[in-house]
């Protein structure tokens, strides 16, 4: 189980508990990073809970919580790199609370005769099969840094129109804080701090995020592809299809 899957399970469990207790009244919100599974947005939307997306780094989640303190209630959130927070007691990821909540989650479903795996497949059937993968490309030395810069510059100037046979319908450039509709040319401002990140959105719901690492000689691609999952028996075959789609998209990006 990867960090995206664990967070999806945690968000669904916590929000469902709040919902069952009658505590969701429109004043609650979640926060996640822009490279974390968008199934979380779908789960939150189904329960009419606001889901905010911020730049990579838990400090940005904490910043939102501080800004909204006393106005709205933070419920749960995190990032794909296994950093999670449940409740407002901290402004950083809390592994102790997250592990306790996940143990509670597993015990709760076990009492119902369900495994965590069964629950995850149920989420895929309900919200769509979101399959994520992180691809890191290492480019060492001065030449490597220049090559990474050239890759990002090329994506901005020669933005691909198709990825994996699907049209790119939106490009988000967090360095210029702009979001461009590739169909109409309309550009709107992104209300987030500037960061050297690009996101390609395709018409079938796939997302590729390109982000040079700030601490290592790497460029990272956070990949998310999506499909319908009709039943649990179709999981493996659908996963294989999504892997093929992801590989095709990365090939179109020259990776």
Do residues 161 and 247 both lie within one domain?
yes
The mean-pLDDT minimum among 43-57, 76-90, 215-229 falls in 215-229
CB burial of residue 177 (10 Å; 0-12, 13-18, 19+): middle
Q: Are residues 246 and 135 both part of a single domain? A: yes
Q: Is the pLDDT of residue 100 over 80?
A: yes
Please indicate, yes or no, whether residues 77 and 136 belong to a single structural domain of this protein: no
Indicate the pLDDT class of residue 195, thresholds 50, 70 and 90: very high
pLDDT band at 121 (very low <50, low <70, confident <90, very high): very high
Residue 83 has pLDDT above 90, yes or no: yes
Mean pLDDT of 53-58: 94
154 and 106 in one domain? no
pLDDT for the residue 226: 94
Asked which of 95, 126, 157 is the last residue of a domain, the reply is: 126
Residue 242, pLDDT above cutoff 80: yes
The label of the residue with tokens 């995020």 reads 209
The DSSP bridge partners found for residue 32 are 53, 78
pLDDT at 141: 85
CATH number for the domain spanning 102: value is 3.40.120.10
Alpha helices in the chain (DSSP H): 3-20, 39-46, 58-68, 95-111, 116-127, 141-157, 235-252
b/e for 50-89, b at 16 or more Cβ within 10 A? bbbbbbbebebbbbbbeebeeeebbbbbbbbbebbbbeee
Residues 15-38 have pLDDT tens digits of: 999 999 999 999 999 999 999 999
Is residue 99 located within the same domain as residue 134? no
Per the structure, the complete domain to which residue 84 belongs is given by 3-126
Does residue 135 share a domain with residue 243? yes
**Alpha carbon distance 67, 76 (integer Å):** 16
Query: Quick check: 168 and 162 in contact, CB under 8 A?
Result: yes
* Residue ending a domain, choose from 103, 126, 149: 126
Residue 42 sits in the same domain as residue 133: no
Asked if 242 and 133 sit in the same domain, the reply is yes
Helices (H), 36-160: 39-46, 58-68, 95-111, 116-127, 141-157
**Who wins on pLDDT, 216 or 84?**
84
Q: What is the pLDDT of residue 215?
A: 74
What percent of the chain clears pLDDT 70, i.e. is strictly above it?
100
Question: Do residue 94 and residue 154 come from a single domain?
Answer: no
The torsion angle over the Cα atoms of residues 156, 161, 165 and 166, rounded to 10 degrees, is 90
Co-location of 96 and 134 in the same domain: no
Q: How many domains does the chain have?
A: 2
pLDDT at position 62 over 90: yes
Looking at the fold, whether 68 and 148 belong to one and the same domain comes out as: no
Residue 214 pLDDT more than 80?
no
Structure token pair of residue 156? 């901005």
The two beta strands, 218-227 and 129-138, are antiparallel
Could you tell me if 108 and 153 lie in one domain? Answer: no
Domain boundary among the residues 91, 109, 126 is at 126
Mean pLDDT of the chain: 95
What token pair was written down for 141? 């030395």
Please state, as a whole number, how many other Cβ atoms lie within 10 Å of the Cβ of residue 118: 12
**Nearest one of 54, 91, 73, 246 to 164, comparing CA atoms:** 246
The pLDDT, as a whole number, for residue 206 is 94
What pLDDT does residue 208 have? Answer: 96
CATH of the domain at 234: 3.30.310
What's the average model confidence in pLDDT over 55-74? 95
The pLDDT of residue 162 is 93
pLDDT in tens, 122-163: 999 999 999 999 999 998 888 888 899 999 999 999 999 999
Predicted local distance difference test score (pLDDT) of residue 217: 83
User: Quick one: DSSP state of residue 16?
Assistant: H
- Are the CB atoms for 214 and 195 separated by under 8 Å? no
pTM: 0.92
């Amino acid at each position: 189980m990867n960090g995206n899957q664990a967070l999806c399970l945690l968000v669904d469990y916590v929000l469902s508990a709040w919902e069952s207790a009658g505590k969701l009244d429109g004043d609650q919100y979640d926060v996640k990073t822009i490279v974390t599974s968008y199934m979380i947005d779908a789960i939150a939307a189904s329960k009419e809970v606001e889901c905010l997306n911020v730049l990579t780094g838990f400090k940005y989640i904490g910043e939102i919580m501080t800004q909204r303190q006393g106005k709205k209630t933070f419920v749960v959130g995190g990032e794909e790199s296994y950093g999670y927070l449940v409740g407002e007691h901290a402004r950083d990821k809390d592994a102790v609370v997250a592990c306790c909540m996940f143990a509670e989650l597993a015990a709760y479903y076990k009492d119902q005769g369900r495994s965590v795996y069964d629950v995850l497949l149920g989420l895929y059937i309900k919200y769509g099969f979101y399959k994520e993968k992180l691809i890191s490309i290492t480019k060492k030395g001065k030449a490597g840094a220049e090559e990474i810069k050239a890759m990002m510059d090329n994506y901005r100037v020669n933005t691909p129109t198709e990825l994996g046979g699907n049209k790119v319908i939106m490009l988000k450039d967090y360095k210029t804080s702009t979001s461009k509709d590739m169909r109409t040319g309309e550009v709107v401002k992104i209300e987030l701090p500037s960061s050297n990140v690009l996101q390609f959105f395709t018409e079938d719901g796939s997302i590729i995020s390109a982000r040079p690492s700030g601490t290592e000689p790497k460029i990272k691609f956070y990949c998310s592809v999506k499909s319908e999952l009709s039943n649990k028996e179709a999981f493996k075959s659908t996963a294989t299809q999504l892997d093929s789609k992801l590989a095709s998209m990365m090939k179109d990006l020259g990776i």
